[in-house]
Amino acid sequence: MTHTSPTVAMTDRDFEQVVLCRDPGAGLESVIAIHDTTLGPSLGGIRMRAYPDPDAAVADALNLAQAMTYKAALAGLALGGGKSVINADPTAPNRRELLTAHARYINSLAGRYIPAVDMGTTVTDLELVGQYVPRVSSQRRDPSSFTAQGVVAAIRAAVRVSEDTSLAGVRVAVQGLGHVGRLVVGLLTREGAQVLVSDIDARPVAAVVAETGATAVPIDDVLVEDVDVVCPCATGGVITEPVLEQLKARYVIGAANNVLADAPGLADQLAQRGVIHVPDFVANAGGLIACEAEIRGGDTDLADRVEGIGTTTHELLQRAGAERRSTVAVAVELAQARLDQRRAQRPYFATR
């Protein structure tokens, strides 16, 4: 895979700031990517994952941060897009030292990046980060339940747009049973969906099958099962050319970030095949909405706001269908329009 260097990304993809962090004493190698702060300070999770090389860590941070910009814009939030990754195994014995060193780098950005939980990090980790960074999300709660709620709202809306039916009897294949994936399965089964599940770890598969009555399938087959909906809830880039060639599902809607290995190209191919795809930065925005509510202190209408992802999905699919364009192209255009309306204002540079 070819990775984009920070220098190229800042010019070609309009990144405001990319920080490569090293602390040899702590063993830290991490990246903080701030894509756009037109709408407000960037907010995004701290991902901890062992990458094959430093370039892969940079590429992941860049892709995730850019998606956060679009996610915030489409959700109507006063936030920008950012993300950070720590290139380390989440089970590393020096985990606390890594998080502490990374937190100090975040603090040096003076509020331009607000961290939250992500793959490989927990609410407890963010409590530790909060000892060094004044403004931190995900200290009070894990936003996973809101992410799951939004994903199911997107699935429900997509099915209603094309088939005018409920989720009862709809067959859904869920790939990945982490915090969000397990909750998605629970919500789907409660609405009567028939759910197939898979994960690289057999333990959560067994637990979810016992809890919900879902059906376990091999990890190599889950994306190409004969189902209505494919719902990736693990790592990104899982919808590839080979997977697309074998895809039987009519819908691709998941919680994972950057589901498409090649977003513009594969999004067009999905549209041409008549596969309804809700971009991840639309479907999984519930977690970001919850994080924004936490830092702003406004939870009164949070559930309704997350359910609004269904309305956004409906409007997106209607427009994409009418214009015969991919949902990714239309969603990015809508997000960019909101950013352009505010572009005359200076980007957010916090002083406190």
- Cite the active site residues: 83
Placement of tokens 């995730």 in the chain: 64
Half-sphere exposure of 123 (CA within 13 A, CB side): 10
3-state secondary structure the chain: CCCCCHHHHHHHCCCCEEEEEEECCCCEEEEEEEEECCCCCEEEEEEEECCCCHHHHHHHHHHHHHHHHHHHHHCCCCCEEEEEEEECCCCCCCHHHHHHHHHHHHHCCCCCEEEEECCCCCHHHHHHHCCCCCCCCCCCCCCHHHHHHHHHHHHHHHHHHHHCCCCCCCEEEEECCCHHHHHHHHHHHHCCCEEEEECCCHHHHHHHHHHHCCEECCCCCHHHCCCCEEEECCCCCCECHHHHHHCCCCEECCCCCCCECCHHHHHHHHHHHCCEECCHHHHCCHHHHHHHHHHHCCCCCHHHHHHHHHHHHHHHHHHHHHHCCCHHHHHHHHHHHHHHHHCCCCCCCCCC
First to last CA, the chain: 40
CA distance 304 to 302: 5
Q: Which residues pair with 80 in a beta bridge?
A: 42
